[in-house]
Structure 1
C-alpha cells in the first residue's frame, strides 16, 4: 500500500493562514475607524497575543494524547468538568459568532441593494439568513462544505488585493486626519480594540488539527501555526490601515460595507458592488459551514456524554437536525435580544460576547500546559520557555476579557455559570456510562468522583504507549 503523501510545512502554513482569513475581517475597517488609525496599537497587541496562543496550542496538540481538542487538553488539569466547560463555552462562542456573521452579511446587503432597514428589520433579516443556512444543511454538509471552501475567496481575494495594490490610492493626509479622532491616550488606544481584533483571529486553535497530515509534526506544526498566524496578522494590519488612508474616517465609521466602499473609491461603484456581492456570498458560505459545524460540536460532545443526549440524535445522513433546531432557536432569541438602532452596535454586542465565551477554553488550555509538560517529561529548560509563552498568552486573554466590556463579561459569566449548572445533570450520565463501560457498580464510580479520582495518564516518556494511573485526592 503506497504511503500517504503529507503536506509540506509551506502548505500547512498557507492552510493555517487561509483558515483565519475569513468573514471576521469583513466589518473590521468600520469598527477600527471608531478608534482611528491609532488602533494599529491594538493590532500589535493582538498579533503578539495570538502568536503566543498559537504556539501554546501547537505545544498542547503535540503533547496531548486525548481526543477532543481544547476539551481534551483541559481534562489533564481540570478533569471531566474542565473538558465539559471547555466544550460548552467553545460551542456557545461559535453559536454567537454565527449571529454576528449573519449581521455582517445583512449590512453588506443593505449597501449593495441600496436599501435602509430599521432595527427590527435588520434583526428579522439576520434571523432569516440563519434559518436559511440551517435548513440548507439538513441534507448533509458535503455540498455546503464545498460551497464554503470556494466562497471564502470572496473575502480573501479583496483583502489581499487592497493590501497590495491599495497603496496606489493611499493618501497620507487622509490617514493622518483619521489617526486619533477622539484624542485617546496611547494606553487607552492600545486596549480599545483588542476584543474586535481578536475576533479576526478566533479559530487559530483549529490550525493545530492537521498535525497528522504534515511531515515531521514536532518541528513543522509550530512553524506552520506561527507562520500562518503571523501571515494573517500582517494581512489584517496592512489591509485595515491601507483602507484608513483611502477612505476618510467619517465615511468609514458610517459604512456597513467598508470593503465595497474602498473598492468603489479605488475603481468605480460597479467594482465596489462586485466586491460587496462576493463578500455577501462569502458570509453566506461561511454560515453554511459553521451552522453545521456548531451542531457537530454539540453532537460530538453529546456522543461522549458531556452534553445532553438530545444533541446526539441524527438522521440517516448523520445530520443532527434536532440539535440544529435547538441551536437555531437560541440564535433566533439572540438575534431578537440584541436588536439595536445601530447595526454596528448590535455587531459589537455579539462579537464581544463571542470573544468572552471563547476565551474561557483558551485560558483553561493555557493553564493545562504545565501539567501536560510535567507528565510528558519535557526537559525543564524547554518547559520553562513554553510556560513563559503560555503566560503571555494568558495575560493577553485577560486583557481581551477586560476590553470586551462590562456587559459582555457579565453575560459571558452568567452563561458559563449556567453551563456548570447543566453539568450537574450531565455528570450523573457520565457516571452511569463509566460504570457501564468498566462493568462496576454506579456507586463505586460515584465514590471515586467524590473521594478521589483515578485519571489515566499517558506515559509519554521515551515514546511509551502504556498507561499509568495518577491518584488525585481533594
Structure 2
C-alpha cells in the first residue's frame, strides 16, 4: 500500500498564510486611514496577539483528542455546554462576517461601475449577493470550492504587488501628513484599530486542521502556524502602510475601494478597474466557500445533538439545504437591520460584531488549554510555557473585545445569552442521548432501577 506524500513545513506555512490573506483585507486601508498611519501600532499589537493565538491553537490541535475543533477544545474545561457555546458563537460570527464580505463587494461594485446607491439599494444588493452565493451551493461544494481556490488570488495578487512594487510610488510627505490626523495619543492609537486588524486574521485557528497531512506534526504544525501568521502580518502591515503613503489620508478614508484607487494612482484608471473587478470576484468566491462552510458547522453540531435536527438534513449531493435556507434568512435579517446611509459605518457594525462573537470561542479555547495539557499528561515545566502564551492570547482577546465598542459588546452579549436559551431548549436531546449511552453500558443492556 502506498503512503500518501505529506506536506513539508514550508508548504504548510504557505497554505496557512494564503488561508488568512482573504477578503478580510479588501477594505482595511480605508478603515485604518480613519485613524491614520499611526494605526501601525494596532498592527503590532494584533500581530503579537495573533501569534500567541496561533501557537496556542497549534498546541490545542496537537494535544486534543476530541472532535469538533474549538468546540472539542472547550469541552475539556466546560463540558458539553462549552462545546455548544463555542460552535454556536463561531457559526454566528461566520454568518455576520459573510454579510460584511458582501458589503465589501458592493462597495467595490459601486466604484467599478460608477454607481451611487442609496442605503436601501446597498442593503438589497448585499442581500442579493448572499442569496446568489447560497443558491449556487445547492449542488454541492465541489465546484464552488474550486472557484474559491482560484478567485482568492484576486485578493492575494494585488496585495502582494502593492506590498512590493508600491514603494516606487511611496511619498513620505503624504505618509507623514496622514500619520495622526486626529491627534490621538499613542495608547489611543494602539487600541483604536485592534478589532479591525484582528478581522484580517480571523480564521487563523483553521490552519491547525491540516496536522495529519504534514510531516512530523508535533514540530512542524506550530512552526507553520506561527510562520504563516507572521508572514500574513508582514504583508498586511506593508500593504496598508505603503497605500497610506500613496493616497492622501482624506481621500483614502472616504474610499470604498482602496485597492482599486491605489492601482489607479500607480498606473491608470483602467488598471484600477481591473483590480476592482478581481477583488469583487474574490469576495464572491469567498462567499461561495463560506456559505457552505457555515452550513457544515451547524450540520456537524446538529449531528451531535447541539442544534436542531433540521440543520442535519441533506439532499443527495450531501448539501444541508434546509439549514442553508435558515442561515440565509438570518443573514438577510442582518443585512436589513444594519443598513446605514454610510456603507463604511455598516461595515464597521458588522465587523465589530463578528469579532466579538468570534472572540468567545477564542477565549474558551485558551481557557481550556490548561485542562487539555493536564488530560494529556504534559509535564508541568513544558505546560507552563504554553500556558503563558495562552494567557497572552487571552489578554489580547479581551483588549480586542474592549476596542470593539459598546454597541458590539452589548449586541454580542445578547446573542451569546440567546445561545444559552437555545441550548436549554435543545438539551433534552443530549439528555436522552446520554441516558441511552448509560443504558447500553449497563449489564444486560437494562437501565438501573431508580432508588425512588
TM superposition score normalised by structure 2: 0.97
CA distance in 2, matches of 1:321, 1:369: 35
CA distance in 2, matches of 1:439, 1:20: 46
Q: Which residue of 1 aligns with 2:346?
A: 346
CA distance in 2, matches of 1:391, 1:83: 20
Q: Which residue of 2 aligns with 1:307?
A: 307
CA distance in 2, matches of 1:215, 1:183: 50
Q: Which residue of 2 aligns with 1:35?
A: 35
Q: Which residue of 1 aligns with 2:359?
A: 359
Q: Which residue of 1 aligns with 2:368?
A: 368
After superposition, give the CA deviation of every residue in 1:83-116 in whole Å (9 maximum; x if it has no partner). 0000000000000000000000000000000000
**Which ranges of structure 2 fall in alignment gaps of 5 or more residues?**
none
Q: How far is the alpha carbon of 1:3 from its aligned partner?
A: 1.0
After superposition, give the CA deviation of every residue in 1:127-178 in whole Å (9 maximum; x if it has no partner). 0000000001111111000000000000000000000000000000000000
Alignment of 1:313-328 (within 5 A): 313-328=313-328
CA distance in 1, matches of 2:447, 2:262: 66
Alignment of 1:69-468 (within 5 A): 69-439=69-439
Q: How far is the alpha carbon of 1:308 from its aligned partner?
A: 0.9
CA distance in 2, matches of 1:340, 1:444: 58
Q: How far is the alpha carbon of 1:434 from its aligned partner?
A: 2.2
**Aligned: 1:18 with 2:18:** yes
CA distance in 2, matches of 1:77, 1:301: 18
Q: Which residue of 2 aligns with 1:459?
A: none
TM superposition score normalised by structure 1: 0.93
| Contact 2:13/2:224 (8 A) holds in 1 | yes
Q: Which residue of 2 aligns with 1:464?
A: none
CA distance in 2, matches of 1:289, 1:437: 36
CA distance in 2, matches of 1:26, 1:280: 9
Moved over 6 A (4+): none
After superposition, give the CA deviation of every residue in 1:60-96 in whole Å (9 maximum; x if it has no partner). 0011000000000000000000000000000000000
Which stretch of the first structure deviates more once superposed, 206-215 or 377-386?
Answer: 377-386
CA distance in 2, matches of 1:105, 1:423: 34
CA distance in 1, matches of 2:434, 2:143: 37
CA distance in 1, matches of 2:25, 2:308: 34
CA distance in 2, matches of 1:438, 1:313: 27
CA distance in 1, matches of 2:426, 2:226: 37
Q: Which residue of 1 aligns with 2:61?
A: 61
CA distance in 1, matches of 2:177, 2:114: 28
CA distance in 1, matches of 2:222, 2:195: 25
Q: Secondary structure at the match of 2:200?
A: helix
Q: How far is the alpha carbon of 1:438 from its aligned partner?
A: 3.9
Q: How far is the alpha carbon of 1:444 from its aligned partner?
A: 7.5
Q: Secondary structure at the match of 1:201?
A: coil
Q: How far is the alpha carbon of 1:437 from its aligned partner?
A: 3.6
Q: How far is the alpha carbon of 1:431 from its aligned partner?
A: 1.2
**Which ranges of structure 1 fall in alignment gaps of 5 or more residues?**
448-474
CA distance in 2, matches of 1:214, 1:318: 28
RMSD across aligned positions (CA): 1.4
CA distance in 1, matches of 2:376, 2:311: 34
CA distance in 2, matches of 1:21, 1:174: 26
| Contact 2:438/2:447 (8 A) holds in 1 | no
After superposition, give the CA deviation of every residue in 1:315-335 in whole Å (9 maximum; x if it has no partner). 111111110110000101000
CA distance in 1, matches of 2:141, 2:4: 25
CA distance in 1, matches of 2:324, 2:447: 36
